[in-house]
Amino acid sequence: MDWFRKTKAGLVSQQKKEIPDGLWTKCKGCSEVIYSRILEESLWVCPSCNYHFRINANKIIKLLLDDGQLERYDENLSSLDPLKFRDSKKYTDRIVASQKKTGDLDAVICGLGSIDTVPVSIAVMNFDFMGGSMGSVVGEKIARAIERSIDREIPLVIVSCSGGARMQEGILSLMQMAKTSALLAVLAKKKITYISVLTNPTTAGVMASYASLGDIIIAEPKALLGFAGPRVIQQTIGQDLPEGFQSSEFFQEHGFLDVISERKDLRKNISLCLHYTYTPPKSLGN
Ligand SMILES: [Zn+2]
């Protein structure tokens, strides 16, 4: 049996070659394994099947804004735990874990920047933070982003990516739907453009409030969009749901959104809409 145990010098490397984490990514659309650098170059869209991988808020900001520059606002707002909520984990523990994971205090990044020279107030939701759920901080930050648009008379862009209202804050989360919608009504009265961008997924309380109230609504291809999950709807109405239900394409066919834009064209398409609708204040002209 000895010769089983003997290792010839040089035959077996003592140093195990490690493949760094995240070097390869498996596509959820076609199962192809893609080299991460290729994926990054294609803006995290699968070169084989065009599947749009979900990307975090910082990447979207870099993609959309001029020079990737955002003057951030309201970064110091952090959720409290008014209901002392606990399921399998304490709500406060979930918040701390998400803060560590993302480096942000809550699930939306807001600020001022410009897209193709047009100044915008922008809010970008981050799914990495508790599924992009909307609690009182997200609602408040979105509300303040809308107010910045109203005060400065500049267009508003909100990029949504969310599983809906944050159940750990109960009714306080649901109240954010009314708060943000009421401010958007003020924005509409002032005739200031609001472009809503829907990424995968945009659902529930977020979809049922500010995400669906854009003057122009743009979605990424094949994003999951909707209010309740398909199983709940099926059980409620007692009917089979149509093919492709709750996708961007289905929404567009039924008049709920204006444009489906591939990620590589997103900045260009938003810029087109902004340039069509935005006139700089006269005091800044000439
Ligand atoms: Zn693919």
Ligand 1 centroid to residue 119 C-alpha, Å: 35
Mean pLDDT score, 178-199: 97
Cα(58) to centroid(ligand 1), Å: 23
Q: What is the pLDDT of residue 6?
A: 57
Residue reference for tokens 């204040």: 281
Taking ligand 1, which is a single-atom ion, which protein residues have CB atoms under 5 Å away? 27, 29-30, 46, 48-49, 51
Q: What is residue 152's predicted lDDT score, i.e. its pLDDT?
A: 96
- Please tell me the distance between residue 128's alpha carbon and the centre of ligand 1 in angstroms: 21
Q: Report the separation in Å between the CA atom of 159 and the middle of ligand 1, taken as the mean of its atom positions.
A: 23
Gap from CA of 52 to ligand 1 centroid (Å): 8
pLDDT at position 239 is 86
- pLDDT tier for residue 3 given thresholds of 50, 70 and 90: low
Q: How far is the CA of 111 from the centre of ligand 1 (A)?
A: 33
Residue extents of the structural domains in the chain? 20-53, 55-284
* CATH code that applies to domain 55-284: 3.90.226.10
- Per DSSP, the residues of 202-254 read EEHHHHTTGGG--SEEEE-TT-BEESS-HHHHHHHH-SPPPTTTTBHHHHHHT
What is the 181 CA–ligand 1 centroid distance (Å)? Answer: 37
Contact between residue 219 and residue 251 where contact means Cβ atoms under 8 Å apart: yes
Burial label for 150, CB within 10 Å (0-12, 13-18, 19+), is middle
- The DSSP secondary-structure symbol of 197 reads E
Q: Which amino acid is at 281?
A: P
pLDDT of residue 21 exceeding 70: no
Amino acid 235: pLDDT: 86
Nearest to 207 by CA among 192, 194, 197: 197
156-162 and 216-219 as β-strands: parallel, antiparallel, unpaired? Answer: unpaired
- Tokens 């408040």 sit on residue: 140
Q: Please tell me the distance between residue 26's alpha carbon and the centre of ligand 1 in angstroms.
A: 8
